[in-house]
Amino acid sequence: MNPLVELNSKKMARKDVTEVEVGDHLKVWTIISEGDKERLQPFEGDVIRIHRNGISTTFTLRKISYGVGVERIVPLYSPYLARVEVLRKGRIRRARLYYLRSLAGKNAKIQEKRFN
Amino acid sequence: MSVGILGKKLGMTQMFDNRGSMVAVTVVQAGPCPVVQKKTHEKDGYTAIQIGFEDAGRQKAALKPYKGHFKSSGLKPQRVLKEIRYNDVSAFSIGQSITVGEFKPADKVVITGVSKGRGFQGVIRRHGFAGKDTGHGTHEAFRTGGSIGMRTPKHTRKNMKMAGHMGARKITTRNLKVMFVDTENNLLLIKGAIPGANNDVVFIRKA
């Protein structure tokens, strides 16, 4: 990519982003505007993928909701992203945790990263 | 005619618009374009300004007639020249620079450039023909255009759509929106795609 294009997208990106890693268990609040009212909608899940591409960087959150797997792709630099909270760091061995999709229950759990 | 500027298409990226939605944008490095010449009624029979873009460097500067064109203005030879017609050119002076500062976000612009060359293409790609059924006995003619005329008038009508060279022609895209102006780096961010390949020269004017 042209360096100027890259520079430009870097300049326009918001600076207050939370650092996110694959395997993290996150809670994110997105701003939902209904008519003229705004509210925050939380979503809690594991990061199974980070797609790094400058200002277009996104991460995918996966959770099991009422027994159904739900995935949500969140743009990291979106102005609609109100808050990101890292609840747990995960011990993982891959960059993309797609294998979680074929697992259920206890098998689909990501081991917590312990810091000594 | 309204304000015009020459620029170089750098590539595409994404940005967030003022509503927070992500939009695809093309980054164009535009200007600064010096006014090289003023065409007048007395001398040329019409009025226009000629603007330049990018220093020509050594290669073209070596050509004498080309050098002479820039001599009186005291400017360095420019790589690209473009005339813009105005009814009144008194507002411009030779050597004056046209920059991206003339544009502001939400402006509508018209962009002209040369589209990417596609070479010799068949009728399916070039004109969107449907092609033939691959079953029901069709053989050796899956992508042909079919008939090119009737028994009368005994010749093929003009402008019949056939295979041939595609792309690499002048394309004008209207009603494009300026999303962001970076005066520091002379960049314009335009919503959507614009004609041409990366690093091609494009002409941008206000709609």
Assign residue B123 a region (left: φ > 0; alpha: ψ between -120 and 50; beta: otherwise): alpha
Residue to substitute from B8, B14, B19, B25, interface A, most A β-carbons within 10 A: B14
Quick one: average pLDDT of B2-9?
88
CB atoms within 10 A of CB B148: 11
- Could you tell me which residues come within 8 angstroms of residue B83 by beta carbon, excluding any fewer than 6 positions away? B39, B48, B49, B50, B51
Can you give the length of chain B in residues?
207
List residues bridging with A39 in a β-sheet. Answer: A32
Give the pTM. Answer: 0.79
Phi and psi at A82, nearest 5°, equal -80, -45
List residues bridging with B114 in a β-sheet. Answer: B170
* Tens-digit pLDDT profile for residues B54-99: 877 665 555 677 777 777 777 777 888 888 888 877 778 888 888 8
Does any CB of chain B come closer than 8 Å to the CB of residue A12? Answer: yes
Residue from the list B12, B22, B27 with its beta carbon closest to the beta carbon of A75: B22
Does any CB of chain B come closer than 8 Å to the CB of residue A78? Answer: yes
Phi and psi at B54, nearest 5°, equal 65, 135
As a whole number of angstroms, the distance between CA B27 and CA B30 comes to 9
- Could you tell me which residues come within 8 angstroms of residue B182 by beta carbon, excluding any fewer than 6 positions away? A8, A11, B100, B188, B189
As a whole number of angstroms, the distance between CA B148 and CA B155 comes to 9
pLDDT in tens, chain A (116 residues): 677 777 767 777 777 888 899 999 999 999 988 888 989 999 999 999 999 888 888 999 999 999 899 999 999 988 888 889 999 898 889 999 999 999 888 888 888 887 76
Assign residue B95 a region (left: φ > 0; alpha: ψ between -120 and 50; beta: otherwise): left
DSSP A36-53: TEEEEEEEEEEEEEEE--
Per-residue model confidence (pLDDT) at position B62: 57
**Residue B18 banded pLDDT, cuts 50, 70, 90:** confident
Residue to substitute from A1, A2, A7, interface B, most B β-carbons within 10 A: A2
* Tens-digit pLDDT profile for residues B128-140: 999 888 888 888 8
Query: Is the ipTM above a cut-off of 0.85?
Result: no
Q: Using the beta-carbon criterion (under 8 Å), do B13 and A56 form an inter-chain contact?
A: yes
Among A residues 36-65, those touching chain B with beta carbons less than 8 Å apart: 54-56
* Tens-digit pLDDT profile for residues B158-185: 999 999 999 999 999 999 999 988 888 8
Strand ranges, E, within B47-122:
48-55, 78-85, 97-98, 108-114, 117-121
* Tens-digit pLDDT profile for residues B180-200: 888 888 888 999 999 999 999
Supply the Cα-derived Rg of chain A in whole angstroms. Answer: 16
Q: Which residue has the tokens 């999709």?
A: A101
Element (H, E) at A5: helix A3-12
List residues bridging with A88 in a β-sheet. Answer: A25
Per-residue model confidence (pLDDT) at position A63: 92
Cβ A2 vs Cβ B10: under 8 Å: yes
Please report, as a single letter, which amino acid is at residue A21: E
Per-residue model confidence (pLDDT) at position B70: 77
**Residue B9 banded pLDDT, cuts 50, 70, 90:** very high
